[in-house]
Structures are given as C-alpha cells and as structure tokens.
Structure 1
Amino acid sequence: MHQHGSHAAARDHCLGPNRAVDRPTGAARYGRMFRDLDPLASDPQVLMRAGSDGGICDAAATLDELNADGDDATEAAGWPFFGQLVAHDITADRSPISGGVATEALRNARAPMLNLEILYSDGPIGSAFLFDVNDPARFLLGPDGGDVPRNHQGVALIGDPRNDVHLFALSLHVALLRAHNAIVDLLRDKGVREGEVFDTARNTLTAHYQWIVVHDFLPRLVGAPLVAQVLAEGGRWFKPRHGQAFIPLEFADAAYRYGHGQIRHTYRLVEGGPAVPLFPDLVGFGPLPADRRLDLTQIFDVPGHPPAQRAKRLDGRLAASLIGLPEQVTGAVDTAAYRSLAVRDLLRGETTGLPSGEEIAALLGEPPLSDEELAHDWPTGTPLWFYILKEAEHRGGGDRLGPVGGRIVAEVLIGLLRADRASYLSRDPRWQPHLPAAGPSYQLSDLLMLGA
C-alpha cells in the first residue's frame, strides 16, 4: 500500500460492509405497495391547471391574507431539506416527466439503502476526486472549508450533483462532509489504526444518520406512535427481505414529495439578514461565496441559540418559487406549466399509475377526506400526492403527515433499513449514538454541528 503525504491510502475492499458488494449490479427497481389497487384515471390538462400559476396548488393567492409567518408549522425550516437529502440517498429516477416510459421499465439509479452514497460515492479509490490526496480518509472541501471543491468551471465535485441544486441542500451536504472529517480526527485521537480510520468513520457517520432518520426525523414527520408501532410490529404493506429492497412508487411519486409543501415563501440565511425566496435567489450549481453562507441555526433548533425559522404548514399549496422554477433547475421545457413543481408532482403520479388517495385510505381502514377538506372537486378521485398534503393539513394539523402519508413513509424508510443487512437496525436495533450531543438526546443538529 503506497503512501499519500503522511497518511496511508484508505483501504477500499468495497469500503466496509455496506458498500458496493451490497449494491445492485444494474439499476435498482421500483415497485408498488398496493398492487391490487387500480390506477387513478386523471385528465393531464386538469392536473396541469391545478398545479399551475393561479391554480389550487399555488400559495401565492393566499399570501395577501397572511403575515410573514402566517403559515408557519411547528417544526424547524431545515427538516424538508434533510428529507430531500434522504430522497437523494435512496432514489434517482431519470425518466421523463411527461411519460413515454413503461412503469415496469423504470429504474432507480441509486441503491435503495440509507448508506450515504450521496457523500461517499465509490470511496477514495473509485471516486478519488472527492477526497484529500494527502489524506484520503478525509473529504476534500473548498479552499475555505465552506463549499465543496469545484472544477475550473464551477461544477461541484460531489457525490450527487442534485445536492448542489440550492444553498440548503449544499449546506447540509457540506456539514455532513465536515462531520465525517471530524469523526476521522476523533478516531485518530483515540489511536485507531490508520488503515481502519476511513471505514470506521464512514460506518460511524452512516449509523448516526440512520438512527436520526428513525428517532429524530420520522417522529417529527409522522408521529412517534406510528414509528413505535412499525418498529415493534414491522410493516403491514412494505416488508422486503434482506437484499430485496425496492422503492414503492406510492412513496417516491407521492408520499415522499410532501416536503415540497413545507418550503417557506422566504428564508433568512443569517440573523437579521434579508428574507429571500428559495428560487431563484438561492439556486445552486455554482461556487458558494463566503458572503452567501447559511448559518445552520437559522433553519434548525440548536441549544444555546434562538429558535430557528419554521417550515411552512402542509396545506396542499406550494410557495411561488416552486410554482415557477428557474431554468437552471428544470432545464429547457417545451410547456410553461412544467416549470411548476406542483404540475410535475401531479403528472408524475398520473404517469406512474398511482391509485387515488381515497382508495388507499379505504384499504388502510381510514376515513377518507371530505369534499370540504379537499376543497376541490376531483371528478374521478384525488391524486395521491395532493391527497396526502390535504390529509396532513386536516389530520396532521399541517405539521405532520396523516394516516395514509405517514404509513407509507414510515413503513418504507424503516423497511429499507431492515432490508439492509449492514444497517444499524439490522445489526443491533438497540444501538445508540455515541458522538457528542448538546442535549439529553442525540439529534440531527448535533451531527450537523460536529464539524462546525
């Protein structure tokens, strides 16, 4: 084993037990949780009107009735962005928005495991550009440590380019890179053998991240009782065996797109700073200058700091910056409506043949939303994505998912961990975090601030 600088090159033998040996040799697959339910037949033109500028999914029409914080939820504003990173970690569907691809032909370019592939990619050997050539156990950062490294054209050298889409995703990505590097330092201080430092740091960060998904993220999103039930009893509708995980379309194309409804109208990056919309003001895909950095305490509650900004309440409406996405995000489109994320979400469910929200609620034994709660007449049934947002508004107080959305999300995320032999939940469900914590229980903020 040759040397790079003062540290030995990190071993790669698939980079530990949760690396490439467990990844699919081809694209991973999608599937269905509710195979016996018929797809909802919707008119695409109706969906496009609903999701376009001025439609029922456009929150701009109600802004005049609200003050700046009029639709704030209980949880901090950073949680939907963490949820976005989790989505990037387990899914990457590159099929076209407007259809033309058979559902059975859809392929997931990500391994369906919460293994932080978005950070590590193929490790110091297969993805050497992500790591410090003089110390390959550590991630390479930008010159001042506040950005990812970039090529001479400003393109991010990053495990998943989607994490450079806006300032918040990038900031969380950088915080996790810094957390890994801090763990490397802690391990070296404890005298861990150099040849084991990278693998141990990676497995430590991944286990803490997985634990946070189960014990910090999910209870806020679906409620602690449902999490406890799924952990104790297993999934009723999603329970893949070891090594046979897949991503249900009901999750990927409806329930887990809940976070679009939690994006605030505007954000402050620093205390007292101006409030600006996510798009176009905070769009990514370029260097992150020092005067545009995010103070993470503005979007996450951190002990010793004032409360963070809150996420937007879930109510079926999206902020104006998501109804008119910039071309840097959508690429060139031949239909103006495709610039709306609501249109994209609604059409995605139609393209992949998802059942209506009412059909799934009936299967689960849950009373369906009333016409008054839906506040819109869907002639043939309510698209699942919209149903889940309105269910969250009326059955979750706008703060968390209701029984249909919550069941799908909880069963899938916990089921993916149980199907992964290398996850902490498969290896030792009683495992507890051991990295430093600011409070009595370990939280995401502890991990994000570890390398600060």
Structure 2
Amino acid sequence: MPEASTTAPRHSHGSHLAARDHCLSAVRAVDRPTGAARYGRMFPGLDPLRTDPGLLMRAGGDGGICDAAAVRDEVAAGDDATEAAGWPFFGQLIAHDITADRSPIAGGVSSEALRNARAPKLNLEMAYSDGPIGSPYLFDLADPAKFLLGPDGGDVPRNQQGVALIGDPRNDVHLFSLTLHVALLHAHNRIVDLLRDEGVSEAEVFDRARITLTWHYQWIVVHDFLPRLVGAPLTEQVLAEGGRWYAPGPLEAYIPLEFADAAYRYGHGQIRHTYRLVEGGPAVPLFPDLVGFRPLSADRRLDLSQVFDIPGHPPAQRAKRLDGRLAASLIGLPEQVTGAVDNNSYRSLAVRDLLRGETTGLPSGEAIARLVGAAPLTSDELEQAWPHGTPLWFYILKEAEHRGDGDRLGPVGGQIVAEVLIGLLRADPASYLSLESDWEPTVPAARPGFGLADLLAITAAAAR
C-alpha cells in the first residue's frame, strides 16, 4: 500500500487524541488554496452562445424537448443503457470532490468572479474534509484513525435534528450518493484494519489509509469509470499523450466551465425513471421518494448490488440511455433539493443546466465540435431548432445518443471529460499518476483488473 511520511508523535488509537497533526500529510496538501479555487475556460477563443432564456426554460420545462415524460411510453422498452445504474451516482461523487459552485442559478455573478469551494483535486476531500484535527466530528473519538458511522453502520452520524455530519452535505441529497459515501467510509475503516494487521504504526495509519483509499479511488476513475463513460481508446490516448485542450502544470489546476456547467452534467440524463432498492422490492422514482437530508432507517437502505454489477450477484439495473431527455422526477425537483424558488421553472434540473451554461457564457456545441475536429450534429439529430447554435449541455447529451449509442459520451463531451479528469490528476503532485504512474492497486480484487466492484466488496466486508 502507498506510504505516507510523518514525523508526528505516536498515540494509541484508544486515546481521545487525534492520531497526529495532518497539516503536513501528503494528501492534506500544504498547497491547498488559501482562498477559493478558480474556474476557467478550456476553449477561451470561442465566443459565448447567447440564447433567449425563455427558449431555454421552454426546452427544459414540463413537456419540453428535455422532458422524457412526453415520450416515455414510446421508449420505455428500449430505455436501458449498457452500464449499470449506479455509475452516474459515482460520477456525482466525483463532481462533489472537485467542484462546489455557490453562485445563484439565475446569475448575477460574472464568470471571472466564480470561485470553487473545492480544491480541484481527486483527493476525496468531500469525505475527509480537514481530517481528524480540522473536522473531528467526522471521526471516532475512541479511534480517530477511523470514520464515525451511524449507530448500526448504515448511515452517517447525525445531530439531534437529523442533519448529517458529513464531509460534503451534497452527498446526503439522495439515497444513492449517501450510500456510496457511507461505502467510502467503511472502505477507509477496513483499510485501517488491514494496515494495522501489517504492523503500520498508529502515528502513520490514518495517513496511510487515506492515501491508500484515495489512490484506489483515482485508479477507479481512470481505469474503470472513464473507459465506461468515454471509451477505452480515448482514455488511453489522453493518458499517453496528455490533453490537447486542458493540460495544467503542477499546482495550476482549475475547473473548466465547459466541464462543470455542461459536459460533466451528463449524468442527469442517465437517471432512471424508477429504481428498485432491494431484490423484489418496489420500483420508485429518485425524487421525491429517495430524497435525503434525514436519518436513513434500516428499512430504507440500498443494496448496492442492485445498481452495480458485483461478482456473485445477478446483473444490476441499468442506467437510462443518454438521449437528451431527463426523467420526470428531475423535471420537477422537490423543494428539499432546490430550496424556495421564485420561478417554478427552476424546479427543473434541465432548466437549471441550460441556464447555468447561459449564465457562464459557454460556447455552442457546434463551435467546440468544429474546433476539436468532430463532425457537428445535424438538425435532425438535435430534434430542436436553436437559432444561433446548440447549448453545450444539451448538445453533449444528444451527441452521446447519436455518436455514443446512448451509452457513452461522444467526441466533444468525451474529450472534455477525459482531459479534465486525467489533467487534474497530472496536476496534483500527490496523485498516483504524479508520484508513481505505474502503481497498481494493492487491495485484493475478485477478478483481474481492480475496479469499483472490488472496493464495494471490501466495504461489504467492513460493514458486517
């Protein structure tokens, strides 16, 4: 397992003191921004697309081109994608790890003034926060090297009002993100046990466990998640050649707006109309049935084998095909998710995605396609007339439908996502790609090629 150096004093894991000061941990990062991290442009030479907000609201609202409810009966029989239903939720956790934009949906903040409340690194900050020293409420007082969990291990700890004590409150938004977050906590705790069995000292065990989990997570992003989302050839090309449009130097990473406000919102189009939480259970929509922000009772748990293909279990449910349309539960989000809004259109996630791209001045999908050398989509493929060009978010979803068979991103979306995620790892001096590019996972795998299913397997062992 990867090593972490430390000169901090040793303490017993049974004490009430945190195991060490993590300020100099390789993953705590003394280079962490003192202010909010920045956003930027991946294609700064392209002009912004200006679209009438009224047109965007009609396209993304009830009965619009983005509303899957209007055509659900026609496509339901062939609506399943190839990949399992859990992958877009894993993608959501990645988004929470690297981005947190606090600006209002309706705009009023210039794109140059936008600030990212997350460090632009795949470092599991959304789970670890500031570690046992800076965020002691996340960790077990009797054993600060381990995360604290809810009473039966199936939930995060909560205060007396049911509010999650969690590294990123967004991971409590619904059952899927919360379940994956809890799985990460169990994985860390299990790795602590394994390291102790290997004789790792208490002074080092937290840092070693954090680095071990973080590197396995980064490996999954590169070798399991990205090949499914953008295809293995593009992933391998960007790994071998670097990014053409996004290649920040060490400690110079930023989050491109084309990524954050368009390409990486692809997962909204993969949300199924309904989900089954346990074998033989009823199928229910994501919202409002599975909304979070409350204690997770034992009779409301998700069996992860229902949404991920895990060895020894039947095939999981599949994600919805990418086709530019969102499930009805996303066109009418509950107030627990959106908060109070002064325009009912803002309850539609499609409207919010379309307006976000307009607010931050993104170029059209066609403009980026021409720049990267991809054939732009035709008007028939887009199924919607856009006077001056297609909003990038919608373009990427339709491109996935027609250039990726509804299963993966096309050339524009795939290029943006692959270059940014791999570029963030290259720019992070503490990532496995920077420190040890030929590193391979050390946690046992059920089959050749470590993947997310193997991490979930050690999570299940830790939870028992």
**TM-score band, normalised by the shorter chain?**
over 0.9
Equivalent position of 1:121 in the other structure: 129
Secondary structure, counterpart of 2:23 in structure 1: helix
Alignment of 1:187-226 (within 5 A): 187-226=195-234
Equivalent position of 1:324 in the other structure: 332
Deviation at 1:14, TM superposition (A): 1.9
Secondary structure, counterpart of 1:75 in structure 2: strand
Equivalent position of 2:365 in the other structure: 357
CA contact (8 A) 2:13 2:202 kept: no
Equivalent position of 2:74 in the other structure: 65
Measure, in 2, the Cα distance between the counterparts of 1:271 and 1:387. Answer: 36
CA contact (8 A) 2:322 2:407 kept: yes
Pick from 170, 175, 181: which aligns with 2:189?
181
2:419 is the alignment partner of 1:419: no
Deviation at 1:20, TM superposition (A): 3.6
Deviation at 1:12, TM superposition (A): 2.2
RMSD: 1.1
1:422 maps to a residue whose letter is A
2:25 is the alignment partner of 1:16: yes
For these two proteins, the number of residue pairs brought into alignment is 451
Secondary structure, counterpart of 1:450 in structure 2: helix
Deviation at 1:429, TM superposition (A): 1.1
Equivalent position of 1:86 in the other structure: 94
Measure, in 1, the Cα distance between the counterparts of 2:418 and 2:13. Answer: 44
User: Identity, % of aligned pairs?
Assistant: 80
Pick from 237, 254, 268: which aligns with 1:246?
254
CA contact (8 A) 1:175 1:449 kept: no
Measure, in 1, the Cα distance between the counterparts of 2:425 and 2:42. Answer: 16
Structure 1 gaps of 5+ residues are none
Deviations 1:2-27 (A, max 9, x none): 66635863212326212141211100
Pick from 104, 107, 115: which aligns with 1:107?
115
Alignment of 1:390-401 (within 5 A): 390-401=398-409
CA contact (8 A) 2:97 2:124 kept: yes
2:44 is the alignment partner of 1:35: yes
Equivalent position of 2:312 in the other structure: 304
Equivalent position of 2:272 in the other structure: 264
Structure 2 gaps of 5+ residues are 1-8
Measure, in 1, the Cα distance between the counterparts of 2:287 and 2:24. Answer: 37
CA contact (8 A) 2:19 2:145 kept: yes
Measure, in 2, the Cα distance between the counterparts of 1:24 and 1:417. Answer: 17
Which 4+ runs in 1 deviate beyond 6 A?
none
Normalised to the residue count of structure 2, the TM-score between the two structures is: 0.96
2:60 is the alignment partner of 1:51: yes
Deviations 1:192-231 (A, max 9, x none): 1111100000000000000100000000000000001001
Secondary structure, counterpart of 1:363 in structure 2: helix
2:288 is the alignment partner of 1:280: yes
Measure, in 1, the Cα distance between the counterparts of 2:122 and 2:180. Answer: 16
Pick from 150, 164, 173: which aligns with 1:156?
164
Equivalent position of 2:6 in the other structure: none
Measure, in 2, the Cα distance between the counterparts of 1:315 and 1:200. Answer: 42
Deviation at 1:449, TM superposition (A): 2.3
Measure, in 2, the Cα distance between the counterparts of 1:15 and 1:305. Answer: 42
Secondary structure, counterpart of 1:284 in structure 2: coil
CA contact (8 A) 1:8 1:194 kept: no
Normalised to the residue count of structure 1, the TM-score between the two structures is: 0.98
Measure, in 2, the Cα distance between the counterparts of 1:187 and 1:3. Answer: 15
Counterparts in 2 of 1:126 and 1:195: CA distance versus 1, 3 Å: same
